Structure 1
Amino acid sequence: MKKLLMTVAILVGSLVVSLQPAAAAVSFPDVPASNRFHEEIQFLVNQEIISGYQDGSFQPKRNVTRGEAAIMIGRALDLDGTMRDTKFKDVTKKNRASGYIASAAAKGIIGGYPDGTFRPDQQIIRGDMAIILSRVFGLEFGSIREFNDVGMNMKASEAIYNIAGEYITTGYEDNSFRPNGKVTREQFSAFLSRGMSPEFKQRAVGNNGYALNMTKRYVYATPNGDVEEVFQQGLEGFDVPDYAGFSWKSTDLTTKEVAYFFQEETANELVTLFPFSDGFVDLLYPIEVGTGWYIDEEETLVDEITSVTETVETPFKTFTNAVEVTSDLGYTSYYVKGVGHVKTLDENGGVVSELKSME
C-alpha cells in the first residue's frame, strides 16, 4: 500500500444554503422515532423545506420525482417559488414546482433533456440526485472512496464522489452506490440534511471510527500554546466566493493564525487533506499491529501501527486501547475510536500536541 498523496481542488463558486426560521414541530404517524431518518426528516420539516400530505402522512418510502426534488432544493436555498411558465415545454405555471424549477434552472442547479422537457413527474435516480446536490453545495474536491459501480466515464461520477467526500453519502455495504436506483423521500431528506449540518454528517458515519467528531470542538495543548479545531462551513481567507462546503478550521489561540484541513474515513483508511496541497494517510484499516504504509515505488516505510492497546494520558483524560502509529522520523501519534487524534510525541518523547478539551 503506497502512501496517499492527493491534491484537493476547491470550488470556485457555489451557493450558500439559507436556512428558514424554525417552524412548530410536525409529527407524522408514518415516521416514528424508530425510523432511521426520523431526525433528518424533522430537521427539514422544522426548516420548512419539506412537508407532508393532506392526510397528515409523510410517505417516507415514496420515490421522489424531479419536480419534488426541485421544490425541496428551492426551499433549502430560499429560491423564488412563484408559479410561472418556464423554459421547459412540459412545465407551465400550472405546475406547483414551476417556480422552483425555473429558479434552480436559472442558477444552473438543474437542467432538462435535449427534447426541451424537464419531466417533473419522472422519479429521480441517485446519480441525478448526486449531480444536483453537488451543484447545490458547490462541491468539487472529490473523495478517496471508490464505488464498484461508478466508473470515471459515468456522467454522474464526479458528483457522486463529491458528495461522498462531504459525507452526504456513504454508499451501500457492498461498496456500491447504485446510481440508477430510485430515491425515496426519507433518503432524500437524509442526503439534504447531511449537506446542511455537521450533526447529520456525523450520524451518517457513526462514532466507531478514528476520525475527529464533526460535532465537537477540540483544543490541543502544544509547547507554543493551545490550538483549537472546529468543523465549520466555509474557508475564510481563500479566493473561493460563497464556499458552501465544510472543513476543519485550526486556529492557534495565541497567534490567531488559521489553517484548514479535511478528513475522510472509509473502510480502508483515514486520510487528512489540505486545500490546494497534498494529503497523508493517518491510519490503514483493519487496525493491526505491523500494518505499515509507504511513500514511493521503492516502498519506503513511512508509518506503522506499533500497538493497539496503549494507555495514553492527556490533559483531557486518560485513554485506553489507543492505536499507536510510529513514523520513520521517530514521531509517535495516538488515535482513539470515537475521538480521533489525541496525542503526538517527537523522537525524544516530548509532547508535540495533546488533547486538552473536547466539547
Structure 2
Amino acid sequence: MKRILSLIAVLGIACIIAVQPTVAEAATSFPDVPENNRFHDEIQYLVNKEIISGYSNGKFQPKRNVTRGEAAIMIGRMLGYDGRPTATRFTDVTAQNGASGYISEAAVYGIISGYPDRTFRPNEYITRGDMAIFLARAFDIETGSIREFKDVREQMKAYSSIRNIAGDFITTGYSDGTFRPASKVTREQFSAFLARGLSPEYKQRTVKKDGYSRDMTKKYVFSSPNGDIRMEYKKTMGQFGELHYAGFFWVIQGPKSGDIWYIQQEETDEMLIESYPFSNYEIALKYPVKVGTSWSGYGLSETDALKITGVNKTIKTPYKTFTNVVEVNEKGYKHYYVKGVGHVKTVDPTGKLVSELKSIR
C-alpha cells in the first residue's frame, strides 16, 4: 500500500491558483454582537469584506432568521455579483425586489433554484438543507465527507450538499449527531457558514480540539532524503482526471519542481482519514487511541492491518522533540502522530527516514 503521508504515491497534477484569505481586524461593531458572541469574529470578518451589513438602527440582529432573498444577497456579494435590480425568471421576483439582481445572477450561474411553480419565494426563511445546497454550489464543493448525520438520508435532495459542506469544514452539525435540514438558519449561523467557506481560520475552529489532524492555518515543512516537502492548506483550482474542482485542499509540494499532491484530511470521533480528491480514503488513526487497536487499510488484507504499537513514544524531529507520540505500524513502516500537530515522522521497515517534520509556521 502506498501511504499518503509518506508521500510515496504520485497523483496527476493541474495548475494551481492560490487564494488565502486573511482575517482582517474588525472595522465595525454591533451593540447586539458582543465579543463573547460565539460568531462575533465571523460576523466582523464578513462585514469587513462587505458581504453582510447591519440594519439602520445600528444592530445586526444575529438571532433573526435569514430569508431566501437575503441568502441570495449575501452569496451574491461574496461571489462579486453587481446586484443591480433586474427582471428575473421567477414570477414572484420582479425588478422592484431589492434582491432581484443577486437572485437573477445566482440563478443564471446555477447557485440557487426555485420551485416547480416558477416561484423563488424570497421572503420564506431558508432551511439548513437549502442553505447546504446553495453553499455547496457557491463554493463548488463536490468531494463529500465521511461524516454521517442521523437525520440525513440518501433520498433527500440536500444529501450530497450536506455531505460536501461537512467535508469542507463549513458545518459540523449538532452534538446529538443530527444536521436538522428542515430547521431555519439565523443571521449569525449563516455568517459562520460563509466565513468557514472563505477562510481556513474559521474552518480550523470546527475541528476537534484534542485531535491529531494538522492545523489548517499553518504551513508545514518536512525533510526527506530527497529534499524538503512543503504542505499548505489553501484554495486551489485544478483538474483531477475529468473532474474540475475549485476548493480548499492540503497542497503538497515535493522536492522536485512540479511534484504536487492534493490531499484531503478529515477527523471525526471515530477516525482520522486522508484521501486524494474523488478517491478512496485511508484511515490514518482509529479512535480511541490505545495500543493494540488495528484496522484494515485500502488495498490491504486483514493480515496487513495497520496497528497502534505505541502511545507514549518520544520522537525527535528537526522541528522539536515530541513526547506522548502515537506510533502506527503499517507493514513495517512506522508513522508517528502528535495531538494538535498531526503526522510528524515516518520511517521505513529498515529504520531509514522517509519524512520528518522540519518546521511549522
Q: Is TM (by shorter chain) over 0.5?
A: yes
Q: Secondary structure at the match of 1:244?
A: strand
Mapped to 2, the partners of 1:84 and 1:18 lie a distance apart of: 33
Q: Select the residue among 122, 125, 145 that pairs with 1:123.
A: 125
In the alignment, which residue of structure 1 is the partner of 2:142? 140
Q: In the alignment, which residue of structure 2 is the partner of 1:243?
A: 245
Amino acid of the structure 2 residue aligned with 1:53: Y
Hey, what does 1:13 align to over in structure 2?
A: none
Partner of 2:11: none
Against the structure 1 CA distance between its residues 24 and 220, is the aligned structure 2 distance closer, same or farther, given a 3 Å change threshold?
A: closer
Confirm or deny that 1:90 pairs with 2:92. yes
CA distance in 2, matches of 1:17, 1:345: 33
Identify the residue that residue 4 of structure 1 maps to in structure 2.
Answer: none
- Residue 104 of structure 2 is matched in structure 1 by 102
Which residue in the other structure is 1:304 paired with?
307
CA pair 240-208 structure 1, distance change in 2 beyond 3 A: farther
How much does 1:300 deviate?
3.1
Give the whole-Å Cα distance in 2 for the aligned partners of 1:212 and 1:135.
Answer: 26
C-alpha separation between the residues in 2 aligned to 1:186 and 1:84? 28
Which residue matches 1:9?
Answer: none
Unaligned runs of 5+ in 1: 1-15
- Distance of aligned partners of 1:34 and 1:87 in 2 relative to their CA distance in 1, 3 Å threshold: same
Q: Partner letter of residue 341 of structure 1? A: H
Matches within 5 A, 1:37-76: 37-76=39-78
Partner SS for 2:246? coil
The aligned counterpart of 1:33 is: 35
Matched residue type, 1:325: V
The alpha carbon displacement at 1:39 in A equals: 0.9
Offset, 1:241: 8.6
Structure 1 counterpart of 2:199, one-letter code: S
**Cα distance in 2 for residues equivalent to 1:189 and 1:213:** 22
Q: 2: CA distance between counterparts of 1:57 and 1:17?
A: 32
| Corresponding residue for residue 319 of structure 2 | 316
- Structure 1's 43 and 241: CA in aligned 2 closer, same or farther, altered over 3 A? farther
Which secondary structure state, in structure 2, belongs to the residue aligned with residue 205 of structure 1? Answer: coil
Deviates more, 1:297-306 or 1:44-53: 297-306
* Counterpart-to-counterpart distance in 1, 2:38 and 2:26: 22
Change (3 A) 1:230 1:46: same
Alignment partner, residue 332 of structure 1: 334
> Is the 8 Å Cα contact of residues 262 and 274 (structure 1) preserved in structure 2?
yes
Give the distance between the partners of 2:300 and 2:225, measured in 1 at CA. 36
Aligned-partner Cα distance in 1 for 2:196–2:352 = 39
Mapped partners of 1:24, 1:35: distance in 2: 14
The one of 139, 154, 157 equivalent to 1:155 is 157
Residue 17 of structure 1 deviates from its aligned partner by: 9.4
Deviations 1:336-355 (A, max 9, x none): 11110001111122211110
Relative contact order higher in (CA < 8 Å, ≥ 6 apart): 1
Distance in 2 between residues matched to 1:241 and 1:145, nearest whole Å: 23
Name the structure 1 match of 2:229.
Answer: 227
Aligned length: 343
Q: CA deviation at 1:318?
A: 0.8
Deviation at 1:298, TM superposition (A): 6.5
- Label 1:302 to 1:67 Cα distance change in 2 as closer, same or farther (>3 A): same
1:267 equivalent in alignment to 2:301 = no
For residue 349 of structure 2, what is the aligned residue in structure 1? 347
Q: Structure 1 residue 244: deviation in Å? A: 2.5
Deviation at 1:269, TM superposition (A): 0.7
Which of 169, 173, 179 is equivalent to 2:171? Answer: 169
* Residues 178 and 236 of structure 1, relative CA distance in 2, 3 Å threshold: same
- Please name the residue that 2:197 is paired with: 195
TM-score (norm 1): 0.90
Query: Secondary structure of the equivalent of 1:113?
Result: coil
Q: Deviation string for 1:43-81 (max 9, x for gaps)? A: 100000000001111011111100000000000001120
Match of 2:180 among 178, 181, 187: 178
Aligned residue identity for 2:77: R
Corresponding letter in the other structure for 2:310: S
Q: CA 1:246–1:167 in 2, change beyond 3 Å: closer, same or farther?
A: same
Name the CA distance, whole Å, in 2 between partners of 1:235 and 1:72: 23
Provide the rounded CA distance (Å) in 1 between the counterparts of 2:66 and 2:115: 18
Q: 1:208 to 1:143 in 2, by over 3 A?
A: same
Asked whether the equivalents of residues 207 and 213 of structure 1 are also in contact (C-alpha less than 8 Å), the reply is no
Q: Match of 2:253, SS?
A: strand
Whole-angstrom distance in 1 between the partners of 2:301 and 2:319: 40
Q: What letter matches 1:304 in structure 2?
A: K
Q: 1:50 to 1:240 in 2, by over 3 A?
A: farther
Instruction: Give the conservation status (yes or no) of the 8 Å contact 1:23–1:48.
Output: no
Q: In the TM superposition, what is the alpha-carbon distance from 1:326 to its structure 2 partner?
A: 1.0
Deviations 1:193-230 (A, max 9, x none): 11111111001115421111111100001111110011
Alignment RMSD: 2.3
